[in-house]
């Protein structure tokens, strides 16, 4: 039996570690190529080994902080729950497989290594205070309808119109009929025996009570119909609108889509829609959000979490969000642009339904010249699609940002600004720069795009095609002193808040 010391090796330098990984990768490729004439790294390559090799290689060239190294690995920290516990190797391999085509593996197309990435910018020079691009804004922001003297109910009816309530009535009555026909032996005392078809007016009252239950909290629906006037549960408005039994019947049979058409595509097969049952109302609101209001020049792409603690296969856990548990949405919203009391209107959205979320809908809608972009980059193009070629400025965080995406948007007369991960287009000379605390350095690439490195509490990298490198003095939130910040970062914070 080998002694314990046989399992110990001298400490290796970083270069020796890279050589070891290279040798292991070569051996792996020889084994995989045996009997296979056309081996393609995109199909069967060791993504985990490539990822680790490039991460170590990158850490040699840079003076990285732990947060920068985290960015360099380019894992989706939200999907990995941002855990601070040690990462298991198997989990890391699985995560690397899930990230095929993203981060260090992205090039011109998905899954290609960093060495194949084209040189998108020829020259980087010192950035000037002026913005590198001046694109005229040709959008027509504002409401598409005259809302003078509108009541709150009329504002609601802009989105929840008669078409929606017609569908709601038809599908609810249809499902109730299907349920009763499938249950010929219902007991005489069953509440279902008293069912009668509903109409649009009743469905509006029902929706109003549903909205009211979100304001007036009770432990159960039955409590809303309590007749004891001496209890805090007593709320006569519910009983005045409808009976408890009728409300519960409507709640039981509430439907938006015909169940009999649901399994046209088998579960787990391409094209299966996990949101089938609510697809009509999602499509309706998706159209209405864009039809009724057009945002001002500054828009942002971000994600939100709709609180949901029930059982759901695509429920997400994001510890940094306020809700933490819920349904993740990708949103395109109007930014406030520094105007107090404005912004926040959602123009376009897409609900994330898990890693099997069909991407065909996005890829079939975006332009052909955007097909080479990664999934996160394509999501940006999808969300801001109606605003391309109109001079809009889009703000986003580092999950979406990349040099390639910003140059693509610039070719569509659309400006962009956002934080960016160090491996997504930050030039080498800026990576090596070491600004003192509360100072920044910036470079301009081909007179098109400005890359900024700002040393705040941590190192922040930012790309912008809309702003130059101008600095301004602002008060420190935590200390009674003033600090100097790049204007692009201040504007970014305003528009992403």
Tell me 400's DSSP state. T
Q: Quick one: 342 and 207 in the same domain?
A: no
Give the number of domains in the chain.
3
Task: Please report whether residue 146 resides in a domain.
Answer: no
From 260, 276, 303, give the residue that closes a domain: 260
Task: Please report whether residue 376 resides in a domain.
Answer: yes
DSSP E strands: which ranges in 293-439?
293-294, 298-307, 316-317, 325-334, 346-351, 393-396, 415-419
Q: Quick one: 74 and 136 in the same domain?
A: no
Task: Please report whether residue 329 resides in a domain.
Answer: yes
Q: Please give the C-alpha separations between residue 249 and each of 182, 191, 209, 223, 487, in angstroms, as whole numbers.
A: 17, 8, 14, 16, 57
Pairing of the two strands 298-307 and 293-294 = unpaired
Q: Quick one: 191 and 244 in the same domain?
A: yes
Q: Please give the C-alpha separations between residue 306 and each of 54, 96, 324, 328, 466, in angstroms, as whole numbers.
A: 36, 27, 9, 6, 32
Task: Please report whether residue 284 resides in a domain.
Answer: no
All residues at 6 or more sequence positions from 154 whose CB lies less than 8 Å from its CB, including other chains: 147
Q: What are 337's two structure tokens? A: 């642009």
**Considering only CA atoms, which of 382, 427, 423, 389 is closest in space to residue 409?**
389
Task: Please report whether residue 186 resides in a domain.
Answer: yes
pTM of the full structure = 0.74
All residues at 6 or more sequence positions from 119 whose CB lies less than 8 Å from its CB, including other chains: none
Q: Quick one: 135 and 256 in the same domain?
A: no
Q: Quick one: 234 and 300 in the same domain?
A: no
Tell me 7's DSSP state. G
Task: Please report whether residue 281 resides in a domain.
Answer: no
Q: What pLDDT, on a 0 to 100 scale, did the predictor assign at position 340?
A: 60
Tell me 144's DSSP state. S
Range of the domain at 92: 11-116
Q: Quick one: 241 and 324 in the same domain?
A: no
Q: Which long-range contacts (CB under 8 A, 24 or more apart) does 318-327 make?
A: 318/78, 318/81, 318/82, 319/81, 319/82, 320/78, 320/82, 327/351, 327/352
Q: What pLDDT, on a 0 to 100 scale, did the predictor assign at position 356?
A: 67
Pairing of the two strands 346-351 and 325-334 = antiparallel
Q: Quick one: 45 and 131 in the same domain?
A: no
Task: Please report whether residue 272 resides in a domain.
Answer: no
pLDDT in 10s for each residue of the chain, 497 residues: 444 444 334 455 555 544 554 444 444 333 333 333 333 333 333 444 444 444 434 444 434 333 333 333 333 333 333 333 333 333 333 443 444 444 333 333 344 334 345 689 989 999 999 999 999 999 999 999 999 999 999 999 999 999 999 999 999 999 999 999 999 899 989 999 999 999 999 999 999 999 999 999 999 999 999 888 777 888 899 999 999 999 999 999 999 999 888 766 777 677 788 898 999 999 999 999 999 999 999 999 998 889 888 888 889 887 877 778 899 999 999 997 656 656 789 999 999 988 766 656 788 899 999 999 999 999 999 999 999 999 999 999 999 999 999 999 999 999 999 999 999 999 999 999 999 998 999 999 999 999 999 998 899 999 999 999 999 998 887 777 888 999 999 999 999 97
Q: What pLDDT, on a 0 to 100 scale, did the predictor assign at position 228?
A: 82
CB neighbours of residue 445 within 10 Å: 24
Q: Quick one: 430 and 395 in the same domain?
A: yes
Task: Please report whether residue 397 resides in a domain.
Answer: yes
Q: What pLDDT, on a 0 to 100 scale, did the predictor assign at position 98?
A: 43
Q: Quick one: 163 and 95 in the same domain?
A: no
Q: Quick one: 354 and 489 in the same domain?
A: yes
Q: Quick one: 220 and 249 in the same domain?
A: yes
Q: Quick one: 316 and 437 in the same domain?
A: yes
């Amino acid at each position: 039996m080998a002694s314990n010391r046989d399992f110990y090796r001298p400490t290796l330098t970083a270069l020796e570690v890279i050589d070891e990984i290279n040798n292991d990768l070569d051996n792996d490729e020889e084994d995989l190529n045996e009997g296979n004439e056309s081996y393609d790294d995109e199909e069967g390559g060791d993504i985990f080994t490539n990822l680790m090799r490039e991460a170590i290689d990158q850490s040699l060239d840079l003076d990285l902080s732990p947060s920068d190294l985290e960015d360099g690995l380019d894992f989706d920290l939200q999907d990995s729950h941002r855990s601070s516990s040690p990462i298991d190797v198997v989990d890391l391999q699985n995560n690397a497989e899930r990230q095929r085509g993203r981060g260090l593996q992205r090039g011109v197309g998905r899954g290609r290594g960093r060495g194949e990435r084209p040189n998108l910018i020829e020259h980087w020079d010192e950035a000037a205070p002026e913005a590198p691009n001046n694109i005229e804004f040709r959008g027509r922001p504002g409401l598409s309808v005259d809302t003078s003297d509108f009541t709150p109910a009329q504002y609601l009816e802009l989105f929840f119109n008669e078409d929606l309530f017609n569908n709601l009535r038809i599908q609810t009555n249809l499902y109730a009929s299907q349920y009763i026909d499938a249950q010929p032996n219902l007991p005489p005392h069953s509440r279902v025996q008293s069912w009668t078809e509903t109409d649009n007016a009743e469905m509006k009252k029902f929706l109003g009570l549903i909205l009211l239950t979100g304001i007036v909290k009770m432990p159960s629906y039955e409590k809303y119909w309590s007749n004891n006037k001496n209890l805090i549960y007593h709320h006569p408005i519910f009983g005045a609108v409808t009976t408890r039994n009728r409300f519960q019947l409507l709640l039981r049979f509430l439907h938006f889509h015909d169940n009999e058409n649901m399994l046209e595509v088998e579960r787990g097969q391409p094209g299966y829609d996990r949101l089938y049952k609510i697809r009509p109302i999602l499509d309706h609101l998706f159209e209405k959000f864009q039809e009724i209001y057009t945002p001002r020049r500054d828009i942002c792409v971000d994600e939100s979490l709709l609180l949901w603690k029930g059982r759901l296969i695509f429920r997400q856990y994001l510890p940094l969000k306020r809700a933490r548990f819920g349904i993740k949405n990708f949103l395109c919203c109007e930014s406030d642009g520094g105007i107090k009391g404005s912004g926040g209107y959602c123009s376009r959205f897409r609900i994330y339904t898990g890693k099997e979320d069909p991407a065909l809908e996005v890829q079939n809608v975006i332009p052909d010249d955007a097909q080479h972009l990664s999934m996160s980059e394509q999501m940006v193009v999808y969300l801001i699609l109606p605003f391309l070629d109109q001079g809009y400025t889009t703000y986003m965080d580092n999950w979406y940002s990349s040099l390639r995406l910003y140059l693509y948007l610039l070719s569509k007369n659309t400006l962009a600004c956002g934080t960016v991960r160090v491996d997504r287009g930050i030039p080498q000379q800026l990576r090596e720069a070491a600004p003192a605390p509360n100072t920044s350095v910036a470079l301009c690439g081909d007179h098109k795009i400005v890359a900024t490195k700002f040393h705040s509490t941590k190192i922040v990298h930012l790309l912008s095609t809309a702003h130059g490198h101008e600095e301004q003095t602002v008060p420190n939130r935590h200390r009674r002193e003033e600090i100097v910040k790049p204007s692009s970062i201040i504007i970014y914070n305003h528009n992403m808040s």
